[in-house]
Amino acid sequence: RIQASIDDANLARALLAEGGRFVDPSPAMLSSPDVIALDPLHLVVDTSSGGVPGFEARALLEASSRIHVEMATDSVIVAIVGAGSRLDAGFLVDALHALPELDSKAPVEKVRQPIILPPTGPRARDVREAYFADAEVVPAAQAIGRISGDTLAAYPPGVANVLPGEVITAEVVQFLQATAQAPYGWVRGSVDAGVNHFRVLVAN
């Protein structure tokens, strides 16, 4: 049954490629040295290549066709096919091709690059030690250079950006706040929705 789900997802990819409007960003993602493989049940579509920002595509698909996708960025949507479930690939692709072109300046031939994650800060304490250590909540500006007491992950893409015991950097703060401000974006583990405060270890 899982293979049937994978076959449905691959059929959707083939139909999208045949239609020619939207670009599959998978080859660009696989070109990254940090990417070993992609989940075949995660269908990634660069909607911006067809003139529709990802956030807009997600909202329009829900409103017009009752299709819910797992996540969206400014350029892509990610639809997840449940393992063992069947996907009506034709219905999904038809709904995508029916989306209005909202951004006429989006070049069809351009492939957007994957989200560039900021480098993590240096490790200053062991994860377990930092997790159970005394901590305090401080404004974001004061957290830079301090040791994190939390695990923080920007979603999308959902990869942990900060672990307990790591030093919080300005680049990480900027990335997390930008994600939190984006439509549908959020940061798991954050003290507040806007990532305006961080839980850091009490300085000894």
| Shared-domain flag, residues 141 and 186 | yes
| Shared-domain flag, residues 7 and 73 | yes
> Which of 71-85, 102-116, 165-179 reaches the highest mean pLDDT?
165-179
Q: How far apart are CA 67 and CA 10, in angstroms?
A: 18
- In the chain, the N- to C-terminal Cα span, in Å, equals 56
CB 153 within 8 A of CB 180: no
CB 164 within 8 A of CB 149: yes
| Shared-domain flag, residues 11 and 93 | yes
| Shared-domain flag, residues 8 and 77 | yes
Residue 134 lies in a domain: yes
Q: What is the extent of the structural domain holding 75?
A: 2-97
Residue 169's closest CA among 203, 145, 188, 190?
145
Tell me the per-residue pLDDT of 40-93, one tens digit each, with 9 for 90 and over. 999 999 999 999 988 899 999 999 999 999 888 888 899 999 999 999 999 999
H or E element in which residue 71 lies = strand 71-72
| Shared-domain flag, residues 89 and 144 | no
Tell me the per-residue pLDDT of 42-52, one tens digit each, with 9 for 90 and over. 999 999 999 99
Residue 115 lies in a domain: no
| Shared-domain flag, residues 136 and 84 | no
Residue 81 lies in a domain: yes
Residue 118 lies in a domain: no
Q: pTM value?
A: 0.66
Residue 64 lies in a domain: yes
H or E element in which residue 44 lies = strand 42-45
| Shared-domain flag, residues 134 and 86 | no
Structural domains of the chain, count: 2
Tokens of 185: 């974006």
Q: How many CB atoms lie within 10 A of CB 142?
A: 14
Last residue of a domain, one of 97, 118, 138: 97
| Shared-domain flag, residues 135 and 190 | yes
| Shared-domain flag, residues 55 and 139 | no
| Shared-domain flag, residues 53 and 138 | no
| Shared-domain flag, residues 11 and 83 | yes
Residue 158 lies in a domain: yes
- Residue 194: give its domain's CATH number: 3.90.100.10
Last residue of a domain, one of 59, 78, 97: 97
- Residue 51: give its domain's CATH number: 3.90.1150.10
- What pLDDT does residue 115 have? 61
| Shared-domain flag, residues 67 and 133 | no
User: CA torsion 154→157→159→161, rounded to 10°?
Assistant: -40
In sequence order, which ranges of the chain are alpha helices (DSSP H)? 2-19, 26-30, 54-65, 89-97, 127-132, 140-143, 170-181
Residue 65 lies in a domain: yes
Model confidence at 109: pLDDT above 80: no
Instruction: Name the average pLDDT for the chain.
Output: 88
Residue 44 lies in a domain: yes
